């Protein structure tokens, strides 16, 4: 039964491009809001005052007149989307090369919804950082006129105020709005707020007609005057654009356009929504049923008083838990209470590991045990203890609201420390060989390079809280060593020599560390790590984290002394040494949003702070952005002015539907320089501890009975 | 500096994302990233057997009872799928993917026992959404006209409906049924096998 169902699910995966429509979809809007050539919600080149569904992550590739825009857009809030764009402009003026490579950001905010009486309204900023070739702002209104017809009109500034422009109406407020100051682009990267909504404005508009479910026709009057492209790349004969869009799949659209009276353009956009896994809530094998104490069962062992019985019981539990992908760390029985410590390496939601453990306990423990104290342990750190009544397991297993009732009846607390480990747990040894993929973006010589190879992970735990681990990478194929650009950084080259590491480190020991984890207090967690911490640095790292089990705030401090490693990924070091460290504040803002501030000294001896904001989905997807400002002047930093980027974490479990904690994370920076570079310490404490704390348990408790 | 433009790479980003998304299942399977939790073989507690078919996929299996708890019997396949029935009415599935997490079937059971035929009765069930949150769906059900031994139940929610059919024996026990599970699984057909 299972095998056949799996085959079907794989098929679904391929057809739907990983995008399963939500199980109980509401009626979709008749007119599909598309992505424009800049990759944000729009017509052809112009915006619309609509948004895509919350959470959607889209890739748009649009090309015309020798210009290709690749845009990644995330609908981070129902009303707000952010885009990151990498464009290649052939024959554009202003670039010192034959092709211009440009990275830009956009924000699109819908501030009013459409009603019967007024249109939807949105405002947007394009390319507000950096060199600003797409620099523009707009205010746009969209009104639906029937089941298949929609009109849009708006006013644009900057590039969108170029064609048919008139004196800025905002000039009545202040004369400053009449002039758009020249961008002091410098190294790029400044927020050019002084330019917003300045200079001439122009009107734009368009009509969308959804002819069938899959086919849409669009016509627009564009106010984009293409200052860099006309006439070097193409002749702009008209401001009218015509487009047709065909839905290749539920989340994939192909568009063809006739643009500016002279050019043909094509666009492909595809999207997925982390909220809708292709395999629904996952294909985990069924958990063992709860066994009621009244039931006639082979597992009822009777009273346990002898050492022999205890050992037999422990061995049974180890076996039964291992079958569920859960490790037994410690076990003690006292009176009516069984205290058990588990290590979950399998389930994304710790609550699911707790639920399965409790089911196993109900099948194996003697009838007089009426309380299960299940402690979640990681690297010897006992993070949370969940206390469950056995009666509740028996009565709520088939209850309609069993998940919430069982959480409400459970007690979650923070234990002082772990109990003595079960015999046989230590020493522990683990290894795995997995593939790795290491991409590199935006080198003008070749904007996308990657290496792929095999990675050997080894871990050895001699006793609770101690871990020796190593990662050895062997490149198999890849183009990273094609990079010929060398760092021109005037700062200590703590990161910008990455191409040398790629070239010389085909076989690289990316990590070899000894770490000690400990709990100095009930809400305190500590870590000391010594060794080759990351690919580029080795040394000593120590961290202390304060986090209460029920508080959205946490504080941490980290102090490191490190030395730069040789390029070849071996055991040698270079001359550069630095003391670096940060004080960190963490805030779980609710609804999956997480903010973090890290202030301190970075690798190039610069002082400053990093602000990051992430949206974490319940299934483990994480999409966020960060920016670091330090005392390095923008001119000294070099291109980009300061360190910033976006990061995306994709849980493997989301793709496969099988229980797994493995996730793939990638960080995309417009450019990697040396300022604001933070040490990449393996296994920082916050992300180890937080998934096992009460708020995370509560959010994942739906899987308790899964 | 002489720079060659390679438009092929421009589309590569999108292509890579697409390939990753579409191909990951296959990749991870060959790399043995999946299947970390093996199905536990059933330990039957009785001789009864249940034959179940999923018409949407053609999948079928024979299940044995593995637990009984407060009027609910849990049946399990050889490969680790469990189905829970309260007096023959489905209240939960595990291991199917788009699983039914729980259901309140008191109204259906009362209807099957022959209470007033004309009344509507509520039916509530829960699922997990893509972010592991519990989602409740509420239905209104009523018995459709038909023979006493083959009872048809029609339930509607705001955007989905289901039509379940129960075949009863002389003692009022469900011997066969066709019951809706979830949008992705669709219907399930069950049949009690004669005891051997």
Q: Are residues B88 and B23 in the same domain?
A: no
**pLDDT at position A608 over 70:** yes
Would you say residue B43 lies in a domain?
A: no
Cβ–Cβ of B127/A617 closer than 8 Å?
Answer: no
The CA distance from A214 to A53, in Å, is: 18
Token digits of residue A330: 């410690």
Residue A73 in contact with residue A55, Cβ under 8 Å?
A: no
Among candidates A52, A54, A55, A50, which has minimal Cα distance to A113?
Answer: A50
The CA distance from A523 to A414, in Å, is: 7
pLDDT in tens, A397-406: 999 999 999 9
Q: Are residues B109 and B181 in the same domain?
A: yes
Give the number of A-B residue pairs with CB atoms closer than 8 Å.
259
Cβ–Cβ of A656/B58 closer than 8 Å?
Answer: no
Cβ–Cβ of B70/A398 closer than 8 Å?
Answer: yes
Contacts of B2 (CB under 8 A, 6+ apart): none
Across A532-554, average pLDDT: 96
Tokens 């507690």 belong to residue: B45
pLDDT in tens, A221-265: 999 988 888 778 888 899 999 999 999 988 999 999 999 999 999
Would you say residue B159 lies in a domain?
A: yes
The CA distance from A414 to A418, in Å, is: 11
What share of chain A has pLDDT > 90, as a percent?
A: 71
pLDDT in tens, B32-85: 344 467 777 888 999 999 999 999 999 999 999 999 998 999 999 988 899 999
Cβ–Cβ of B99/A706 closer than 8 Å?
Answer: yes
pLDDT in tens, A56-110: 999 999 999 889 999 999 999 999 999 999 999 887 776 555 788 889 999 999 9
A366 exposure class (CB count in 10 Å sphere: 0-12, 13-18, 19+)? middle
SS3 A563: strand
pLDDT given at position B11: 36
Q: Are residues B131 and B88 in the same domain?
A: yes
pLDDT given at position A311: 87
pLDDT given at position A91: 78
Token digits of residue A664: 């793939």
Nearest by CB: A702 against B21, B54, B133: B133
Nearest by CB: A291 against B14, B67, B99: B67
Q: Which of A327-341, A408-422, A526-540 has the lowest mean pLDDT?
A: A408-422
pLDDT given at position A416: 73
Q: What is the pTM of this model?
A: 0.89
Least CA distance to A296: which residue of chain B?
B45
Q: Are residues B117 and B155 in the same domain?
A: yes
Cβ–Cβ of B10/A59 closer than 8 Å?
Answer: no
Indicate the DSSP class of residue A699. H
B160 contacts on A by Cβ (under 8 Å): 24
Nearest by CB: A23 against B1, B45, B98: B98
pLDDT in tens, A135-148: 999 999 999 998 89
Residue A511 in contact with residue A468, Cβ under 8 Å?
A: no
**Please, what is the average pLDDT of chain A?**
89
B12 contacts on A by Cβ (under 8 Å): 448
The CA distance from A198 to A162, in Å, is: 12
Indicate the DSSP class of residue A675. T
pLDDT given at position B142: 93
**pLDDT at position A23 over 70:** no
Residue A670 in contact with residue A640, Cβ under 8 Å?
A: yes
- Would you give the distance in Å from CA A234 to the centre of its chain? 38
Nearest by CB: B69 against A270, A394, A619: A394
The CA distance from A233 to A2, in Å, is: 57
B29 exposure class (CB count in 10 Å sphere: 0-12, 13-18, 19+)? middle
More reliable by pLDDT, A199 or A602: A602
Would you say residue B15 lies in a domain?
A: yes
Would you say residue B165 lies in a domain?
A: yes
The CA distance from A267 to A68, in Å, is: 9
Cβ–Cβ of B77/A2 closer than 8 Å?
Answer: yes
**pLDDT at position B6 over 70:** no
Token digits of residue A611: 């602000």
- The CA–CA distances, whole Å, from A170 to A75, A195, A228 equal 29, 13, 26
Kindly provide the residue ranges of all beta strands, DSSP E only, lying in A185-251, ordered along the sequence. Answer: 201-210, 215-221, 240-249
Q: Are residues B7 and B77 in the same domain?
A: no
The CA distance from A278 to B22, in Å, is: 10
Cβ–Cβ of A652/B24 closer than 8 Å?
Answer: yes
> What distance in Å separates residue A2's CA from the closest CA in chain B?
6
Nearest by CB: B37 against A5, A280, A346: A346
Interface list for B 24-43 with A (CB within 8 A): 24-26, 28-29, 31, 33-40, 43
B64 contacts on A by Cβ (under 8 Å): none
- Region of residue A465 (left: phi > 0; alpha: psi -120 to 50; beta: else): left
Among candidates A625, A624, A640, which has minimal Cα distance to A675?
Answer: A640
> What distance in Å separates residue B102's CA from the closest CA in chain A?
5
- The CA–CA distances, whole Å, from A287 to A283, A355, B37 equal 11, 9, 10
The CA distance from A473 to A159, in Å, is: 47
Calculate the dihedral angle through the C-alpha atoms of B64, B69, B72, B74, rounding to the nearest 10 degrees. -30
Q: Are residues B20 and B60 in the same domain?
A: no
Would you say residue B161 lies in a domain?
A: yes
Pick among A96, A102, A289, A345 to test the B interface (most B CBs inside 10 A): A289
Contacts of B194 (CB under 8 A, 6+ apart): none
How many other C-beta atoms lie within 10 A of the C-beta of residue A530? 15
As beta bridge partners, residue A240 has A221
The CA distance from A143 to A468, in Å, is: 62
Pick among B15, B19, B29, B36 to test the A interface (most A CBs inside 10 A): B36
Would you say residue B186 lies in a domain?
A: yes
Across A358-373, average pLDDT: 94
A275 contacts on B by Cβ (under 8 Å): 129-131
User: Kind and range of the H or E element at A500?
Assistant: helix A498-504
The CA distance from A490 to A515, in Å, is: 34
pLDDT in tens, A629-685: 999 999 899 888 899 999 999 999 999 889 999 899 999 998 899 999 999 998 899
Q: Are residues B91 and B10 in the same domain?
A: no
SS3 B159: coil
Give the model's confidence band at A690: pLDDT under 50 very low, under 70 low, under 90 confident, else very high: very high
Cβ–Cβ of B31/A445 closer than 8 Å?
Answer: no
Nearest by CB: A402 against B57, B102, B182: B102
Contacts of A648 (CB under 8 A, 6+ apart): A57, A621, A622, A623, A665, A666, A668
**pLDDT at position B182 over 50:** yes
Cβ–Cβ of A702/B84 closer than 8 Å?
Answer: no
More reliable by pLDDT, B28 or B149: B149
Across A328-332, average pLDDT: 93
Would you say residue B41 lies in a domain?
A: no
Domain containing B10: what range? Answer: 1-36
Q: Are residues B20 and B104 in the same domain?
A: no
**pLDDT at position A188 over 70:** no
A266 exposure class (CB count in 10 Å sphere: 0-12, 13-18, 19+)? middle
Interface list for B 45-64 with A (CB within 8 A): 45, 52, 54, 57-61
Residue B108 in contact with partner chain A when CB distance is under 8 A: no
Nearest by CB: A295 against B24, B68, B127: B68
Q: Are residues B159 and B109 in the same domain?
A: yes
Residue B140 in contact with residue B120, Cβ under 8 Å?
A: yes
Least CA distance to B98: which residue of chain A?
A280
Would you say residue B44 lies in a domain?
A: no
Token digits of residue A510: 């990316």
**pLDDT at position B26 over 70:** no
pLDDT given at position A200: 85
A511 exposure class (CB count in 10 Å sphere: 0-12, 13-18, 19+)? buried
Pick among B3, B8, B17, B25 to test the A interface (most A CBs inside 10 A): B25
Q: How many separate domains does chain B show? A: 2
Q: Are residues B29 and B53 in the same domain?
A: no
Kindly provide the residue ranges of all beta strands, DSSP E only, lying in A75-130, ordered along the sequence. Answer: 80-90, 99-112, 120-126
B131 contacts on A by Cβ (under 8 Å): 275, 617-619
Q: Are residues B17 and B97 in the same domain?
A: no
Q: Are residues B116 and B137 in the same domain?
A: yes
Least CA distance to B19: which residue of chain A?
A17
Residue B193 in contact with partner chain A when CB distance is under 8 A: no
Crossing angle, helix B7-30 and helix A2-15, to 10 degrees? 170
User: Residue B66 maps to which CATH number?
Assistant: 2.40.360.10
B90 contacts on A by Cβ (under 8 Å): none
């Amino acid at each position: 039964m299972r095998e056949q169902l799996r085959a079907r699910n794989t098929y679904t995966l391929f057809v739907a491009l990983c995008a399963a429509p939500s199980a109980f979809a509401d009626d979709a809007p008749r007119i599909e809001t598309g992505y424009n050539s800049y990759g944000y919600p729009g017509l052809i080149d112009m915006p619309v005052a609509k948004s895509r569904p919350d959470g959607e992550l889209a890739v748009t590739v649009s090309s015309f007149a020798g210009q290709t825009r690749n845009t990644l857009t995330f609908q981070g809030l129902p009303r707000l989307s952010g885009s990151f764009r990498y464009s290649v402009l052939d024959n554009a003026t202003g670039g010192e090369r034959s092709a211009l490579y440009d990275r830009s950001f956009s924000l699109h905010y819908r501030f009013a919804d459409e009603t019967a009486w007024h249109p939807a309204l949105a405002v947007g900023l394009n390319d507000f950082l950096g060199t600003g070739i797409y620099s523009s702002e707009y205010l746009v209104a969209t009104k639906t006129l029937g089941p298949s017809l929609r009109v849009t009109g708006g006013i644009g500034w900057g590039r969108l105020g170029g064609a048919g422009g008139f004196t800025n109406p905002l000039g009545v407020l202040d004369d400053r709005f009449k002039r758009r100051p020249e961008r002091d682009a410098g190294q790029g990267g400044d927020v050019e707020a002084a330019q917003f909504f300045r200079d001439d404005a122009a009107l734009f508009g368009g009509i969308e007609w959804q002819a069938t479910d899959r086919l849409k026709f669009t016509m627009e009057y564009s106010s984009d005057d293409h200052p860099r492209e006309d006439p070097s790349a193409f002749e702009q004969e008209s401001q009218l654009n015509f487009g047709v869009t065909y839905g290749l799949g539920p989340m994939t659209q192909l568009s063809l356009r006739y643009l500016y009276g002279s050019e043909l353009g094509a666009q492909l956009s595809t999207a997925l929504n982390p909220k809708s896994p292709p395999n629904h809530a996952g294909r985990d094998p069924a958990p063992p049923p709860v066994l009621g104490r009244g039931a006639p069962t082979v597992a009822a062992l009777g009273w346990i008083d002898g050492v022999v019985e205890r050992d037999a019981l422990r061995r049974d539990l180890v076996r039964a838990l291992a079958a569920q992908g859960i490790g037994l760390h410690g076990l003690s029985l006292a009176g009516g209470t069984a205290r058990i410590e588990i290590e979950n390496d399998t389930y994304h939601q710790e609550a699911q590991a707790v639920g399965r453990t409790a089911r196993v306990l109900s099948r194996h423990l003697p009838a007089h045990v009426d309380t299960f104290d299940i402690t979640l342990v990681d690297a010897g750190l006992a993070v949370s203890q969940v206390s469950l009544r056995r009666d509740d397991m028996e009565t709520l297993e088939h209850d309609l609201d069993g998940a919430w009732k069982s959480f409400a009846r459970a007690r979650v607390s923070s234990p002082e420390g772990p109990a003595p480990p079960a015999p046989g747990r230590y020493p522990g040894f683990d290894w795995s060989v997995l593939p790795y993929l290491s991409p590199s973006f935006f080198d003008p010589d070749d904007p996308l390079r990657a290496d792929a190879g095999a990675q050997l992970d080894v871990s050895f735990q001699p006793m609770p809280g101690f871990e020796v681990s190593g990662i050895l990478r062997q490149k198999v194929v890849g183009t990273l060593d094609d990079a010929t650009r060398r760092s021109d950084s005037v700062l200590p080259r703590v990161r910008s020599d990455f191409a040398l590491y790629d070239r010389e480190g085909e076989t690289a020991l990316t990590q070899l560390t000894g770490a000690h984890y400990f709990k100095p207090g009930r809400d305190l967690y500590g870590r000391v790590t010594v060794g080759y911490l990351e690919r580029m640095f080795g040394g000593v790292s120590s961290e202390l984290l304060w986090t209460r089990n029920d508080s959205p705030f946490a504080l941490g401090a980290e102090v490191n002394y490190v030395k730069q490693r040789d390029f070849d990924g071996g055991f040698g070091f270079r001359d550069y040494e630095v003391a670096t460290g940060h004080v960190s504040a963490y805030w779980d803002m609710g609804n999956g949003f997480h903010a973090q501030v890290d202030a301190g000294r970075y690798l190039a001896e610069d002082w400053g702070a990093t602000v990051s904001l992430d949206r974490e989905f319940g299934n483990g997807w994480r999409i966020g952005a960060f920016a670091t400002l330090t005392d390095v002047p923008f001119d000294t930093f070099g291109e980009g002015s300061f360190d910033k980027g976006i990061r995306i974490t994709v849980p493997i479990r989301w793709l496969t539907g099988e229980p797994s904690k493995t996730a793939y994370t990638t960080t995309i920076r417009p450019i990697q320089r040396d300022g604001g570079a933070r040490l990449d310490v393996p296994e920082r404490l916050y992300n180890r501890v937080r998934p096992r704390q009460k708020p995370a348990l509560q959010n994942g408790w739906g899987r308790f009975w899964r | 500096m002489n720079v060659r433009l390679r438009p092929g790479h421009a589309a590569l980003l999108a292509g890579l994302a697409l390939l990753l998304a579409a191909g990951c299942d296959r990749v991870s399977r060959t790399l043995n990233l999946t299947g970390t939790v093996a199905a536990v073989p059933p330990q039957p507690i009785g001789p009864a057997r249940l034959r179940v078919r999923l018409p949407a996929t053609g999948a079928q299996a024979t299940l044995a009872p593995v637990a009984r708890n407060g009027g609910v019997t849990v049946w399990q396949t050889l490969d680790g799928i469990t189905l829970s029935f309260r007096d023959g009415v489905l209240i939960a599935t595990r291991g199917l993917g788009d699983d039914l997490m729980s259901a309140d079937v008191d109204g259906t059971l009362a209807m099957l026992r022959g209470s007033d035929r004309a009344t509507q009765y509520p039916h509530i069930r829960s699922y997990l959404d893509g972010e592991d949150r519990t989602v409740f769906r509420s239905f209104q059900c009523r018995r459709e006209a038909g023979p006493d031994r083959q009872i048809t139940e029609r339930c509607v929610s705001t955007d989905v409906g289901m039509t379940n059919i129960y075949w009863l024996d002389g003692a009022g026990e469900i011997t066969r049924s066709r019951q809706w599970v979830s949008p992705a699984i669709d219907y399930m057909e069950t049949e009690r096998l004669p005891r051997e």
